[in-house]
């Protein structure tokens, strides 16, 4: 596959500097323009402040791109929902047709691994949707974590999901799920979910060492690092829970499914909460970018 890697990212990888992959679905499908572009550039700035190099990933005119330019990010932001949301299955089609594609967690992992980028910061991963025992609606992110060797730093699985089943699925697939400074799975908008984790790590150095051991043993697959939203931006569990229930009910009534479900639910929740959920979403992405940068820098030091 012909992948375009920016010179900045190439130089960082060659010199052993920490690099952090960033997804592009949050730009095209996560929020309106121009806030989407402003947020994407601010996330990159957070990574640089920490001493690492950001690599925003997308497919631009059919070319997988690792390290999008400001102009490319601007283009994705303006195009918005007209940009194809790309998971693993969509990559060859979007490339073959010369289209623009915004990468999800799964496809960002794939392109990051091919470019040699080992750490990826996102908001929250997809997972097992509520009612999946009937619909079989399970995000491709989970399978990707089981086979693609990239560390994903997130604020847990999105709380619109069935978090218990999501954790069961990850356990079945053999994915290591680490709680950063917590024994409990964060629930995206809130710091707690009531679901206990089996592994807690308290420093980026410790996580980097575990990633190095995993690589040295050729164990394959990714690692999921769950990083709780900062306390000052955490939402009231009851308020966000009620908003999610309303949004899920409306999605069911309208028959919204598949890859359209998450953008619909997040947009609906934002409206129900008067924009508070979006503000929290942005802050947790910044927080994850900072932790991912520290992990990437320490991993690079280990060689």
The set of catalytic residues is 23, 158
46: its two tokens: 């957070």
DSSP code, position 30: S
Handedness of CA 143, 144, 149, 155 (dihedral sign): negative
Determine which helix (DSSP H) or strand (DSSP E) holds 160, and give its type and residue range: none
85: its two tokens: 């949301």
Q: What is the C-alpha R_g of the chain?
A: 18
Phi-psi group of 3: left, alpha or beta (phi > 0 → left; psi -120 to 50 → alpha; rest → beta): beta
Q: State how far Cα 25 lies from the chain centre.
A: 9
User: What is the crossing angle of helices 140-147 and 105-115, to 10°?
Assistant: 20
DSSP code, position 121: E
Q: Cβ(87)–Cβ(106) under 8 Å?
A: yes
The contacts of residue 257 (CB under 8 Å, 6+ apart) are 135, 137
49: its two tokens: 């402040």
Q: Residue 4 pairs with which residues in a beta bridge?
A: 65
244: its two tokens: 């999610």
């Amino acid at each position: 596959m012909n992948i375009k890697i920016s010179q900045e990212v190439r130089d960082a990888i060659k010199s052993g500097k920490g690099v952090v992959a960033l997804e592009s679905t949050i730009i095209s499908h996560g929020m309106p323009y121009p806030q989407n572009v402003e947020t994407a550039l601010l996330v990159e700035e957070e990574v640089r402040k920490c001493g690492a190099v950001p690599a925003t990933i997308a497919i631009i005119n059919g070319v997988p791109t690792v390290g999008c330019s400001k102009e490319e990010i601007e283009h994705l932001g303006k195009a918005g929902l007209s940009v194809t949301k790309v998971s693993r299955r969509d990559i060859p089609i979007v490339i073959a047709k010369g289209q623009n594609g915004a990468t999800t967690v799964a496809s960002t992992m794939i392109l990051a691994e091919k470019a040699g980028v080992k750490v990826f910061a996102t908001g929250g991963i997809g997972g097992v949707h509520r009612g999946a025992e009937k619909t079989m609606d399970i995000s491709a992110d989970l399978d990707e974590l089981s086979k693609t060797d990239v560390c994903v730093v997130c604020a847990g699985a999105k709380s619109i999901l069935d978090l218990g089943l999501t954790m069961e699925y990850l356990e079945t697939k053999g994915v290591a799920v680490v709680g950063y400074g917590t024994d409990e799975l964060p629930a995206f908008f809130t710091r707690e979910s009531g679901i206990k984790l089996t592994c807690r790590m308290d420093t980026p150095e410790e996580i980097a060492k575990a990633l190095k051991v995993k690589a040295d043993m050729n164990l394959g697959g990714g690692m999921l690092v769950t990083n709780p939203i900062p306390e000052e931006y955490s939402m009231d569990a009851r308020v966000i829970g009620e908003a999610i229930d309303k949004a899920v009910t409306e999605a069911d009534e309208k028959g919204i499914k598949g890859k359209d479900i998450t953008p619909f639910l997040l947009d609906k929740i934002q409206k129900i909460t008067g924009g508070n959920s979006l503000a929290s979403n942005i802050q947790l992405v910044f927080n994850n970018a900072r932790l991912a940068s520290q992990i990437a820098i320490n991993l690079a030091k280990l060689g």
